[in-house]
Structure 1
Amino acid sequence: MARILSELDIGILKTVAPECEALLCSGSRVTYRSILPPLANHYSKDAADFLRRIKLLPMSDLEYLVRLILSGEESLGCIPFNYIIPFVENVSERLGEKVASQVRKSYDDSECPA
């Protein structure tokens, strides 16, 4: 579900990708509608860098992101599989296995809106 990023969303994106200057996808020229796909596809060098950036988030921001994921508001469809595995492991460590399992199911059920 595409959304317009809130001030909180933009703040989270700036925390994990401080080099983000514009909220515009360089490929499609469309305004970002989620946090994690741009982080994975435009700012992170690899899965380890993606995880390093996710670990910068305070618990409250991670909980917020997970709520958005579980409600379908935060897209996971365009995140590479090798990035989602460490993300789910981090969610498991910080928020518990049950929540991580729900996030993984959301990923498995998602599609990248080309």
Structure 2
Amino acid sequence: MPRELTEYDIRILRKLAPECEDLICNGTRTEFRSILPPVANHYSTDEHDFKSRLERLTNEELEYLIEQMRSGSESVGCISPFFFSGLLDLVTRRLSKRAAQELFSIYENDEGCG
């Protein structure tokens, strides 16, 4: 269930991808509806770059993104498993192994991409 990005979402997106000038997907010419897919699929050069970008998040921002994933508002199904593993590593290290396991379950069941 993609959402319209809030000001807080946009601040997080631009923190992760400062080069993001507009909120339009070049491929579909539609507005971004999630934060992590554009960072992974449009701005990160590889898995290491994606993981480095994620390191910029505060724990509060990370928890916010997880809550958006729980609710189905933050789609992650179109993120490469290699990229997603960087997110899982970060969540395990900074939050908990249990949170990472929950995230993995969400990822496995996410059919869409925002």
1:16-60 per-position Cα deviation (integer Å, ceiling 9, x unaligned): 000000000000001000000000000000010000000001111
Is 1:62 equivalent to 2:53 in the alignment? no
Q: Measure, in 1, the Cα distance between the counterparts of 2:2 and 2:71.
A: 12
Using the size of structure 2 for normalisation, the TM-score is 0.96
The equivalent of 1:21 in structure 2 is 21
Superposition misfits of 4+ residues, deviation over 6 angstroms:
none
Q: Measure, in 1, the Cα distance between the counterparts of 2:18 and 2:81.
A: 24
**2:66 corresponds to which letter in structure 1?**
V
**Count of residues in Structure 1 that have an aligned counterpart in Structure 2:** 114
Is 1:45 equivalent to 2:42 in the alignment? no
Deviates more, 1:63-72 or 1:33-42: 63-72
Contact 2:39 2:50 in 1 (8 A): yes
Alpha-carbon offset, residue 71 of structure 1: 1.4
Gaps of 5+ in 1: none
Gaps of 5+ in 2: none
Alpha-carbon offset, residue 113 of structure 1: 4.7
Contact 2:34 2:75 in 1 (8 A): yes
Q: Compare relative contact order (CA 8 Å, sep 6+) and give the higher one, 1 or 2.
A: 2
Q: Measure, in 1, the Cα distance between the counterparts of 2:99 and 2:86.
A: 14
Q: Measure, in 2, the Cα distance between the counterparts of 1:39 and 1:101.
A: 22
Q: Measure, in 2, the Cα distance between the counterparts of 1:20 and 1:109.
A: 28
Using the size of structure 1 for normalisation, the TM-score is 0.96
